[in-house]
Amino acid sequence: MMNILHINSSLFGEGGKSSQMANEFIQALRSNLDSSALVSRDLHSNPLPHLDGERFSAFVTPAENRNDAQKRIVAESDVLINELRDADIIILGIPLYNLGVPSTFKAYIDHIARAGETFRYTANGPEGLLSNKKVYVFAARGGQYKDTPLDTQTPYLRHIFGLMGISDIEFVYAEGLNMGPEVADKALADARKQLLEKAA
């Protein structure tokens, strides 16, 4: 049984190009697997609260000292972390907004990147606590940013998942989607070819 965790973050929901790529990849991938289980989250239709002082305090308060409100906050985070722990494959649909990841996705990261749970601090620096996971990122961009200093997403995703011990990450980019239909159509066709190859 292959466990798949799927996260979409387009503000257009299922209509977003990153969502469409991720969804098509999942369909193709599952058709090539003997058996699989899928957990999906759409961060646009079901957003998580953004990190604030109350939530951060709940995360760092020892379990035996948490009040009822803090226990509820931590329980929400624990569900997300357990989904991540259980996953063999993680599939992300991520558009580029204002040169960064969507704020809904950042909120998701702030709930799963927790010291003592998905990474820990050591004398030699942070150490990831997750392993043996594969991440596929389906990145949709209006302009063309890949391999330029303006692409902040790729290094951020590599670093933040690396912090948690996940280093096997592949990207499929569809860029130039706002640069006219000819550029957009080619970008989507190329991305579709890549995702089908990876799913095989």
8 A C-beta contact, residue 111 and residue 80: yes
Element (H, E) at 8: strand 2-8
Which DSSP letter does residue 87 get? -
8 A C-beta contact, residue 28 and residue 200: yes
Tokens coding 119 = 């990474």
10 is in an annotated binding site: yes
Strands (E), 29-71: 36-42
Q: Name the region of 132 (left: φ>0; alpha: ψ -120 to 50; beta: rest).
A: left
**Residues forming the annotated binding site for FMN?**
10
**Residues forming the annotated binding site?**
10
